[in-house]
Structure 1
Amino acid sequence: KAALYSLEPAVRRQALRQLGTRRVAEAAAEITGRLEDEEPSVRFQAATALGRIGDPESVRPLTEALLRGEKDDLARFAMFTALNQVGRQNPATWPAIVQSMIGRDPEHRDLAPLVLRETYDPALVTALSTFSLSPEVSLPRRLIAIGLLADLHRQLPPWKGEWWVYHPVNQPPPKKSVDWTGTQEVASTLRRLLESGTGEIRTAAIEWIGKAEITSAAQDLRTLFDRHPDVETHQKVLPVLGRLHDTNCGPMVVALLDTPGSSGPLLEIALETAAEVGSPTNHLTPLLAASIAALSTNAALTLPQAVKSLEVLGRLRDPAALGALTNRLQDTNLPVAVAAIRALASAGGPASTLLPALQDPRPELLHAAVAAVGSLRGREAVPRLIELAGRTEFREEAFRALAAMPDLRALDLFVDHLASENFSLRDLAAQALGSLRKEALPRLEQRASTLKPEVLAAVQALYPQDDPAHKGPLFASQAAVRRPEDYLAHALAHPGSPLNGQRLFLNPSGVACVRCHRSLDAGGDVGPDLGGMGSQFDRRTLAESVLWPSKVVREGYLQTVLELRSGDTVAGLIKGESAESLTLRDAQGRNQTLPKTDIVSRKTSSLSLMPEGLHAALSPEEFTDLIAYLESLKSSTRGPFADPPKGFLPIFTGTNLSGWNPSGGTAPGWEAKGGILERGTTEEDLPTGSSIADFRLQLEWRWADAPRPETFELVDGDGNPARDSQGRPATRPALGAGEGGILVRGFAKAAIALSCRPVGSGDLPGYRTDPGSPKEVRAGVLPRRQADRPIGAWNLMEVVARGDKVTILLNGDEVVHEAPLPGLPPRGPIVLQHGTGRIQFRNLFVQPLE
């Protein structure tokens, strides 16, 4: 204990650590004194020791230390953790902890959730209940206590997954679904609070009963609904009854639906409540559907109400309501007609009623009708769907509808889509042909000699053990196709282009990785977030995971396969489940909520939701580019306030434009914030406030806007515009996001381009495109290769200017080497340029070389 008073902080820390580890209770009073130590690390150890010892007398000093406004994050964490530990070891202290932590000062109201977090202790529930019910406690403090109490209604289910794989923190939090000994008291207290004379307390109780899904409170809510006929109370109670799936509230919902002049918001709430309590189908469904069907004909409905009424009829799926939906299929009001079509499909109505809608000239309605006919398997619509598949704007939707009900009349379309770049369409085509394989064989044999090798291989795969087919013209020649191993070998032997790989990743009409995976702030969440993937896995592992996605399937990404009563099979990742329904997300990133009454069987597959064969739509070069992009997704340890390299001086403070722009440190449109210097939408140069001669400049930059498809002209090895075989300008599709630059010594001609063009950043077009420049000058300023990182990632550039020569390094690659720049002035400012898009700079450092 004597060491607690040492002049050395390290000694005090060690003493506290040892006393806490040994739980020396008699030292608690002296340890408490160290909560006011001048050294934050000592305060941290003091709080940690008190938490381990668990002395009830520690509650007051720990509370006072927190309320003094501890500034050190670690010490603050140790203090509120220690309070929690004291309470767990001494349940009788919970009332005092609750009283002190649910502060009177708004500045400290965030402390209580931290101290009491995830603490399932009956004594704490009792303390919070007493506090919530006490009229002597101020209203704001009671409201905080009610929220903390409701959060303890149920516990989380036990964790059964894996840690440190595919960012588990990014997954949606699991639902609290496990009852414990405090569940009943929490529910009882919230039900008692519904009787409070204070409107704010009642409102909080209603809200938390809904969030905690306390079904035992449904009767109390119905009573409250009847006792308080005001619209405001009804608007708060009805959604909670719907969330609780309380079918006993049916009569009050019907009464609202049948009452002329019900207020707009309340009517829409009643419609949503009807959908929640009336599905899956139960005794209340026909009654609700009849009321809503009658309501949908009311000309006084607003447009949102009319659309909502039809949508709810679709969710109720009551056969008696189909007539009301059919009557609105070609409504002159487009949103109403579209809602009726979608509702009819949801309700399982007859596809024949949609045939007139397939002739409607309105594109949005036609899109909805095509999707609806496909979901209803309306074979009478096949000829019209084949016709629509020939129109660009309807091609994919019409094809998907046809694939959902394979028909020999659409055989040519299925065969053609076997060569589609879009894997999902290619897979649908193979499935459709598989179901038609017997009837389709004669026609496929007639076309065998005209099929492309990859299409012929896909067709042959449909007949693996069919002797008649193997003896016919379909197998007269064996299609030569690349094996996955060929793609792997190419990816391991060549570097590839990360930028072209990003284009492939984001292309929704190709392999469409972006539909399921997220990277650089873009993409879906069906599969794992690929941020930092290049830091976690080597190139071979990344390539193998694309070629053989089911080789290793991590916990959380195993697909669930459902067999439905309709005979369909649905597969996807479970994204939500209740007692009545199950929500799956399929490989296209679409959520589908299915009533459990429609599910015959459910099993977990060992296969990944990511399908096999994605590579088949790519050339080996494109596959290598895709892997290069995945490999480039590496976590960065460098932030916006990095230390300057040895010998360099910072020229950007990170917070303002001091040292820039001779006009006084301000530049319209440029913003300095959080270590980032950004320029938005208009052209504007930003020069340094002083001139410099020879220098070495180091900076980072990136494009902040989402990439967009563009087409760029190419240049040849001499820096001239490239030409194709017909003498036209050669172009290449690529992703773009903006144009910017860096002026060397303020000389306009010496602008170093920052761009997304295939020529690469580091180009000096002022010299390269000048017909008066010597050939060796034009060739010298042409970047040796495109070394840019994918759009959205930070690029590191270094510019060395000595005399009239410039060397440029981009992301570690020397792209320009001592290029002569005739006419370059001996001194001048460094100028940042902005052309288009949002460009950001950070960590700008310069080393004078004079």
Structure 2
Amino acid sequence: VRPDGTGLEVVSTGERNPLSVALSSTDEVFSYGNDDDSKKWPNSLTHHIVGGHYGYPYQFLTAPHRTLPILTGQIGGSGTQGICYNEDGLPPAYHGNLLFCDWGLQTVFRYAISRSGGTFALKEKTPFVTKGDVGDFRPFSMAVAHDGASLLLVDWAFNGWLADGPKTGRLYRLTYVGPDRVHPAPRPIGTDPAVRLKGLDHPALSVRLESQRILARLGPKAVAPLVDRLTRPEPPTGRLHALWALDAIGTPEARRAIREALADRDAEVRLQAARSAGIRRDREASAALAALLRDPVAAVRREAAIAVGKLDDPAAGPALFAALGDPDAFAAWSIRRAIRRLKAWDAEALVAALLDPKRQDDALKLADEAWAVPVVNALTMALGRSDSAAARARILETLAGLYRQYPEWSGDWFGTNPLAGQFPSKTKDWDPAGMEGVLTGLTLGARDLDPGVRLQAIAGLGAVGRAAVPLLRDRLATEGDARNLTALARTLGSLGDSASAPALSALAQDPSRPEAVRAAALDALAMLGGPQALRARLMLVYDPKAPAPLVARALILLGRDGALPPNDVAGFLENPSPMIRAAALLALSPKRPTPGEVRRAVIDRLNDPIPDVRKAAIEAAAQLKIREAIPRLVAVTNEDAYRTEATLALAALPDAQALPVYLAALQDRNPEVRRKAEEALVAVRDRVAGDLEQEARSGRLGGPALLAVERILARFTPIIDWRVIGPFPRTTAQVFIGESSIDFTRTHAGAEGRTIAWTSRKADPATGRVVLDDLKAGAGDRGGFGYDTNGSPDLNAFGSAEVASDQDRSALMLVGSSGTIRVTINETMVYQYDNFAGRPYAPDSDLVRVELKKGVNRVLVSSRQGIGTWSFSVQVSEPSTGRIVAKPGSASPEALQAFALAHQGDPRKGEEIFFDVKGVGCVKCHAAGGRGTAAFGPDLTGLALKYDKAEIIRSVLEPSSRIAIGYQPVLLALTDGKVLNGLVRAETDAYVELVDADARIVRIPKAEIEERRVGDISLMPKGLVDTLSPLEFTDLISYLQSLKTAPSLSNPAQ
């Protein structure tokens, strides 16, 4: 914007919350932004160019190819304000340095940067001012003092954002005292033109700018000396200021001189002249600017493209299209941006670029999400003319993305954690000619001679949705490639095209078709439902010539769908194929009564000679609740090959007969086994309490296992009587927390500025659950708190209660919540859980040891809304006559971290731990080093190329601190009150498939989903390494440190 308020324009987008900009001596723009509550976007140091987009809030994760990169960044901290030092009162090493305050990290950082192509590169980042002994040092803003030799630093001087009353703040003057201290050059005084012309070359920017403005105010009479200074080559700095003084004067002579400077030998002069021509919309400079699109200096090409875009002359299109394929990312971006801004769409020019190998990549980026009919036409024409299958596939991918647009922004803010909300999706129709053109191109691609190209077209048609169903159905009848037929079948099934049932039935039953194709057709028929689909599936199951894998696949789904009665399923338990016997066991549905003869047949299969069948029988016994199988299952736990499966089955059938199995499982390395065994012991506690106490005192249990027994034996009393107050906005300061006395008669200002008061509320007498759903109404941060203007999804409430104790004692506390929660007892924080997205509520989510004093203990809860039914609960253990107090073992997270940092492990032993499916079981979710095919978690190959030892340790002990892109969990709140948590495996217009933490697949109809959020807590199980010794943990870390080879793109786990 101009100083007089005119000329307002958006410079760039996709940055988060920068509180100031820092301008270099040549007006390059830098900012230091803030991370957000997702902890995926960093505190970012960004070089901003006109028309740049840096990816926040979504595309930095979902589509980085549609963004420009930041210079550097880190998770954590709170960026505030800063400067670029352009004066002459500090040594040369500081000239051009960026100095930014970080309120959160209590540090002022110094960044040394250098030009790198069309942008800049970080040379060095160093702490410039740190807090030292000043605990509440919170740097906020900086300025260069008038003398240019010192800096003024504003300190917030308060460790909080929101509070009533504190009068704080400090102002520091920072002075350089090093041996290379310099003295500022003398500063000119007055308005003498000759003096001020010399002032254009002063080493201090402030003096140069002052001289520039004084000369500009002289008007036309200053043009001649300024032109002379502009054309005089030395020293170079003054030439730039002469150019901008001429720009401010703006006479024809001044503009002519600037246009001539577009051909100057000095690159910086050319760059500034181009910037001036763009700002002033100087169309007479069009030809010269077009020539600069081929300049040898990337920054000049970048600025020339920006200027061309500002001229609003579509005639510049040919030069811009010719410049596509620039090797510099920032120059290439600006060229594409100029074409888009000018709407200089020329279908033939775009086709030529798409067919030119040197420009093809850039042309595809230009066409990406460019909703214009000429773009669609050009992509379709290029598709027909290209002789490269790879190029045609990329063209189809780009074309498919143009079928629909994103809807207009609603005006609602996405909040402080946009990744926890719904991502934008393309749901809006646009020009019918464009949409029809996309379908035409995809149809052409579906008939391509290359099967890989056809596969890309099928994917594109699937993304189009119902409008493409006839095309997909027709293709099913003519496609000959197995992989493509598989994709077609799955796509038609997911789109629910019942008219495809006859063709899919024929495909499933055709013995000449590859097994993968028939399997996909079977799966599609299962999705479609209906009599014809069911008949085809049943015919295949009873076809004696059908391959066993297909029969097994169909059998499981038919059984679970209830299409086959248990007795019919049981008929397959004697099949000669082990695969079919195992499938029959898994097809028995717990939703239907299981006859006695079928139950006995399942128990018989526990002795099957084939391991996979035995494992299926173990799982079936648990699913069908066949309690008469318990003695046999207990015996099976003595066999190493089946111990884990049999233990989990017994945990699903809690029984005192299995006590030795449950106790052994408490020390198992598999966290799921430990968790399920603990749940089973809780269920049978009253029958085995004496045995449990004896085992606890035997000394055979330690650490987490002993704590588990203590929890099992404890009797918990829910806190029932509460006073609650809310809703407060999420940015509320920690009111009430730490206060020894609360005035419950006082009212407070809540969300939207409403007056709220404490009210009494009863909890559920069985679980202690306090439901706060009635407090959800209202916008989250309206009412002057400053952040959420549209209504926060994370409101805050407080609960206060009292717990009486007849003695000073240690107790256990169970805490449950639907989201972030803090608990204090007698003004001491005893528990804190942070999860902005929320979590499924459970009354026993967390176990905390607390200290109660004799008498009345004050309990205060701060509860945020989270997801689903807004609720929290607190239960406290009753006094125990025979106290069992588990103490932290040597394998606490802190101990593991300290040991691993101080020691080197054996990577070979660590590899054994990683790939032991019966132990910690990393391989169940991760591939690594070319081994394993699991894709539930990211492939860890190449992990050590990105992270050092300390960060790898942190990622294992605190998995939520770094969740890989594409592996963020999704939380779904359902209309029945349930909340599910998992990774999205598949999604259609009708349903979402989740994979939960135990690798189970759950399909949820979208009509049953009330709310959806992206979670920020990893699905990696808690306590995964609890049973590892410090040495074993160090061995595992050493193996992860050895993963220094980049992953192969062909790795199917990628």
TM-fit CA distance, 1:188: 3.4
Match of 2:539 among 294, 303, 306: 294
Residue equivalent to 2:992:
582
Post-superposition Cα deviations, 1:696-738, rounded to whole Å, max 9, x if no partner, equal xxxxxxxxxxx6xxxxxxxxxxxxxxxxxxxxxxxxxxxxxxx
Distance in 1 (CA, whole Å) between partners of 2:663 and 2:379 is: 71
Match of 1:19 among 268, 277, 281: 277
Match of 1:413 among 646, 656, 661: 661
Q: Which moved more, 1:86-95 or 1:392-401?
A: 86-95
Match of 2:494 among 219, 243, 268: 243
Distance in 2 (CA, whole Å) between partners of 1:495 and 1:299 is: 61
Match of 1:357 among 605, 618, 632: 605
Distance in 1 (CA, whole Å) between partners of 2:386 and 2:901 is: 66
Change (3 A) 1:271 1:59: same
Distance in 1 (CA, whole Å) between partners of 2:280 and 2:909 is: 60
Alignment-mate amino acid for residue 331 of structure 2: A
Alignment-mate amino acid for residue 4 of structure 1: L
Post-superposition Cα deviations, 1:182-233, rounded to whole Å, max 9, x if no partner, equal 286555345556887994399589615533142123245546768x799999
1:7 aligns with 2:265: yes
Confirm or deny: 8 A CA contact 2:892 2:1026 kept in the other structure. Answer: no
Residue equivalent to 1:313:
558
Residue equivalent to 2:902:
496
Change (3 A) 1:369 1:97: farther
Change (3 A) 1:209 1:619: closer
Confirm or deny: 8 A CA contact 2:969 2:1017 kept in the other structure. Answer: yes
Alignment-mate amino acid for residue 407 of structure 1: D
Residue equivalent to 2:571:
327
Listed as ranges, the matches of 1:250-269 within 5 Å are 250-254=501-505, 263-265=512-514, 269=517
Q: Secondary structure at the match of 1:178?
A: coil
Distance in 2 (CA, whole Å) between partners of 1:310 and 1:339 is: 6
Q: Secondary structure at the match of 1:582?
A: strand
Residue equivalent to 1:100:
352
Change (3 A) 1:129 1:382: farther
Post-superposition Cα deviations, 1:544-586, rounded to whole Å, max 9, x if no partner, equal 8877778999999876667999999864344543344433333
Alignment-mate amino acid for residue 1003 of structure 2: L
Distance in 2 (CA, whole Å) between partners of 1:89 and 1:264 is: 51
1:403 aligns with 2:655: no
Confirm or deny: 8 A CA contact 1:210 1:243 kept in the other structure. Answer: no
Residue equivalent to 2:62:
none
Confirm or deny: 8 A CA contact 2:404 2:429 kept in the other structure. Answer: no
Match of 1:593 among 1002, 1006, 1014: 1002
Alignment-mate amino acid for residue 430 of structure 2: G
TM-fit CA distance, 1:394: 0.8
Q: Secondary structure at the match of 1:327?
A: helix
Distance in 1 (CA, whole Å) between partners of 2:1029 and 2:321 is: 65
TM-fit CA distance, 1:2: 1.8
TM-fit CA distance, 1:245: 1.9
Distance in 2 (CA, whole Å) between partners of 1:318 and 1:500 is: 52
Q: Secondary structure at the match of 2:993?
A: strand
TM-fit CA distance, 1:425: 1.8
Match of 2:340 among 88, 103, 123: 88
Change (3 A) 1:555 1:221: closer
Residue equivalent to 2:429:
181
Confirm or deny: 8 A CA contact 2:651 2:677 kept in the other structure. Answer: yes
Alignment-mate amino acid for residue 385 of structure 1: L
Q: Secondary structure at the match of 1:572?
A: strand
1:73 aligns with 2:323: no
Post-superposition Cα deviations, 1:612-665, rounded to whole Å, max 9, x if no partner, equal 444642446666x48xx76x8xxxxxxxxxxxxxxxxxxxxxxxxxxxxxxxxx
Q: Secondary structure at the match of 1:115?
A: helix
Confirm or deny: 8 A CA contact 2:351 2:378 kept in the other structure. Answer: no
Alignment-mate amino acid for residue 417 of structure 1: A
Q: Which runs of 5+ in 2 are unaligned?
A: 1-258, 718-810, 813-876, 1046-1054
1:461 aligns with 2:706: no
Residue equivalent to 1:834:
none
Confirm or deny: 8 A CA contact 2:397 2:457 kept in the other structure. Answer: no
Q: Which moved more, 1:268-277 or 1:152-161?
A: 152-161
Distance in 1 (CA, whole Å) between partners of 2:928 and 2:318 is: 48
TM-fit CA distance, 1:414: 0.6
Change (3 A) 1:130 1:485: closer
Over the aligned positions, Cα root-mean-square deviation in angstroms equals 5.3
Change (3 A) 1:474 1:496: farther
Change (3 A) 1:108 1:144: same
Alignment-mate amino acid for residue 631 of structure 2: P
Say how many residue pairs are matched. 608
Distance in 2 (CA, whole Å) between partners of 1:592 and 1:335 is: 21
Output the TM-score relative to the length of structure 1: 0.58
TM-fit CA distance, 1:286: 4.8
1:432 aligns with 2:668: no
Match of 2:914 among 496, 506, 509: 506
Q: Which moved more, 1:430-439 or 1:501-510?
A: 501-510
Q: Secondary structure at the match of 1:460?
A: helix
TM-fit CA distance, 1:151: 1.7
Change (3 A) 1:63 1:344: same
Output the TM-score relative to the length of structure 2: 0.48
Alignment-mate amino acid for residue 263 of structure 2: Y
**% of aligned pairs identical?**
26
Listed as ranges, the matches of 1:660-671 within 5 Å are none
1:112 aligns with 2:363: yes
Q: Secondary structure at the match of 1:295?
A: helix
Confirm or deny: 8 A CA contact 2:263 2:288 kept in the other structure. Answer: no
TM-fit CA distance, 1:410: 1.6
Q: Secondary structure at the match of 2:662?
A: helix
Distance in 1 (CA, whole Å) between partners of 2:291 and 2:317 is: 13
Distance in 2 (CA, whole Å) between partners of 1:300 and 1:366 is: 25
Q: Which runs of 5+ in 1 are unaligned?
A: 633-706, 708-788, 795-850
Q: Which has the higher contact order (CA 8 A, sep 6+)?
A: 1
Alignment-mate amino acid for residue 711 of structure 2: A
Distance in 2 (CA, whole Å) between partners of 1:97 and 1:150 is: 21
Distance in 2 (CA, whole Å) between partners of 1:28 and 1:534 is: 47
More helix by share: 1
Alignment-mate amino acid for residue 319 of structure 2: P
Confirm or deny: 8 A CA contact 1:445 1:474 kept in the other structure. Answer: no
TM-fit CA distance, 1:87: 3.8
Change (3 A) 1:346 1:24: farther
TM-fit CA distance, 1:362: 1.4
Residue equivalent to 1:745:
none
Confirm or deny: 8 A CA contact 1:581 1:593 kept in the other structure. Answer: no
TM-fit CA distance, 1:30: 0.5
Residue equivalent to 1:753:
none
Distance in 1 (CA, whole Å) between partners of 2:271 and 2:905 is: 51
Change (3 A) 1:212 1:475: same
Q: Secondary structure at the match of 1:419?
A: coil
Distance in 2 (CA, whole Å) between partners of 1:551 and 1:200 is: 46
Confirm or deny: 8 A CA contact 2:696 2:709 kept in the other structure. Answer: no
Confirm or deny: 8 A CA contact 1:584 1:592 kept in the other structure. Answer: yes
Q: Which moved more, 1:516-525 or 1:246-255?
A: 516-525
Listed as ranges, the matches of 1:516-535 within 5 Å are none
Post-superposition Cα deviations, 1:125-155, rounded to whole Å, max 9, x if no partner, equal 4541486389996787988755432221245
TM-fit CA distance, 1:393: 0.8
Residue equivalent to 1:763:
none
Alignment-mate amino acid for residue 78 of structure 1: A
Alignment-mate amino acid for residue 74 of structure 1: D
Listed as ranges, the matches of 1:672-691 within 5 Å are none
Change (3 A) 1:49 1:303: farther
